[in-house]
A and B are shown apart, each in its own frame.
Chain A
């Protein structure tokens, strides 16, 4: 029972980490809270589902979903974020929320308000160890999640793009003066961030066997709680916070029952922790704001 919950919590945490990693990387570069990333998640899920239905190939569906979401993210960055970045933090945040709400309405109008089933087989069996059960979907989430998180850590610490990301996020003007193509870095991070969103959307759709217009709501605000908790713009902190929220939610629901809706827990944890550590769980304190 405990072990089952632990694995359930880690799987939930991995999924949250996948969802929150893109916006966290984007925040690190642009200081924009990219709520519209959750629209990329829904878009990826819909396109993935439609292509999988049409062709019968889940791999093709995933590729198409990633492509659609990446194009959307890149367009958003070029057409919306870039022109308004110098207007202070509130304007891009509200623009992002506006995009997200408009996209949700667009999904409802294009695909209809009813949920679609997403009964794709992932090709992994359900594992049983005594009383501990891991479903195939959870296994895939765990494998994909840990793989992506490991790759991210490697990319940030050991590759050229990671070096550029760190340089650009510390000081964009200086990075540019050092000959780094910061526009290219921003574009690459948006592509990666929205690709991750599409993958998490497809995994979410398969896990709950449903794809619907507002499926981005809960990821959108949970990812906010997670990237704040992890210290804004700190990807490794984001991963730690995602695991923490995944585990806390699972265990609170298990031991305390539904005293509160699962989805309010993230924000209560967030508000309590922010009051104790206003710079986030792993954020460095910035004295001069």
Chain B
């Protein structure tokens, strides 16, 4: 039971990261291969503040959200100067720079990382795995809610327009630059926020756990599930997050499995499992269309 809870928390954390990443990669179509750097930033600030400065757990959440948000704002500003490939590489580089910063700045505890991060508590009650799961689910609900709100809002429509044709979007008066920065900031802030939970959940943070490979894993989940939709991001995190747990023998081949699944997906089904215009969503659409028709043309 406890083991299942741990798996659940892990998947929920991945889901938050994937849904947040979707805001930049899915909605605005900007490459971002640095999501784990923002997770790491949030986790490290939470860890340092709670161990060294004895800041309460609940205060580390907004701090992690803010710090990662500021970093995301900076990346967003940088993204304005760089196109596609250049931006992709810059975000790849960001992973290595962040890992180096965690390793070399004494503030972040050096190469060994930070250990014995205090367990969060409410009053006298100390957090168990169930509490972590509830909090992770709450964070997931928040990021899904914001995503859904974005999708229906004027801002979201503008983001989609920027993705589809940037110059056309600019020509109808969409402030391309500031909206891109908003998407980067939000995405990074949510990744940082879940980092504040990640740190006490693992009770330790080490520099290498926030490297490039982890960013690729998060992006793989998004692409596997389908770019541009919340359901795709959730499905990707759920399936790829549960896969190594469901099949223990895979765990030794975790990255190989991810890599091969990713390649097959990109080669044969680049829309992902449940993205826009993917096989599954077309199928669901076809199955649902008679229902919709009968509703539309039903007796008035």
A→B interface (CB under 8 Å): 31, 33, 79-80, 83-84, 87, 89-91, 93-95, 97-99, 101-106, 109, 221, 224-225, 228, 232, 259-261, 263-264, 266-268, 270-271, 274-275, 278, 280, 289
Contacts and interface: CB of A to CB of B under 8 A. Distances in A.
Given A90-B88, A95-B266, A105-B255, A274 B104 contact: no
Nearest to A27: B85
A101 B97 CA distance: 20
B258 interface: yes
Contacts, number: 121
- B contact patch SS: helix
B202 to A, nearest CB: 23
A94 B258 contact: no
Nearest to B253: A105
Contact of B81 (A90, A224, A225, A274): A274
B90 interface: yes
Contacts of A90: 25, 29, 31, 84, 88
Nearest to A95: B266
Nearest to A105: B256
Interface stretch (B114-122, B139-147, B212-220, B234-242): B212-220
B83 interface: yes
User: By CB atoms of chain A within 10 A, which of B92, B103, B256, B260 has the most?
Assistant: B92
B62 interface: no
A272 B103 CA distance: 21
B81 A232 contact: no
Contacts of A263: 96, 100
Nearest to A93: B88
Interface string B167-199: 000000000000000000000000000000000
Contacts of A98: 216, 220, 258-260, 262-263, 266
Contacts of B99: 264
Nearest to A232: B85
Contacts of B266: 84, 91, 94-95, 98
Contacts of B256: 101-102, 105-106, 109
Contacts of B219: 94
Contact of A278 (B33, B82, B258, B263): B82
A102 B84 CA distance: 24
B162 to A, nearest CB: 14
Interface bracket on B: 35 or more
22 contacts: A31-B85, A84-B266, A84-B267, A84-B270, A87-B270, A94-B216, A98-B259, A98-B266, A99-B259, A102-B256, A102-B263, A221-B93, A221-B212, A224-B89, A225-B89, A259-B104, A267-B96, A267-B97, A268-B97, A271-B93, A275-B81, A278-B82
A267 B86 CA distance: 12
A31 B82 CA distance: 16
Nearest to B80: A278
A103 B223 CA distance: 20
B78 interface: yes
A84 B103 CA distance: 38
Contact of B86 (A94, A102, A103, A274): A274
A264 B100 contact: yes
Shortest 7 CB-CB contacts between residues of A and residues of B: A102-B259, A267-B93, A105-B256, A264-B100, A98-B262, A101-B259, A95-B266
Contact of B104 (A102, A106, A260): A260
Contacts of A259: 104
A95 B263 contact: yes
Contact of B267 (A95, A102, A103, A261): A95
B258 A101 contact: yes
A98 B31 CA distance: 15
A95 B104 CA distance: 32
Contacts of A221: 92-93, 96, 212
Nearest to A269: B93
Contacts of B216: 94, 97-98, 101
B179 to A, nearest CB: 18
A280 B220 CA distance: 28
B90 A102 contact: no
Given A91-B266, A101-B258, A278 B93 contact: no
A190 B92 CA distance: 24
B89 A228 contact: yes
Nearest to A217: B212
B84 A260 contact: no
Contacts of B97: 264, 267-268, 271
A109 B253 contact: yes
Nearest to B271: A87
Contacts of A95: 262-263, 266-267
Nearest to A288: B167
Contact of B255 (A84, A101, A264, A270): A101
A228 to B, nearest CB: 5
Contacts of A264: 96-97, 99-100
Contacts of B93: 221, 224-225, 266-267, 270-271
Given A94-B262, A268-B97, A261 B83 contact: no
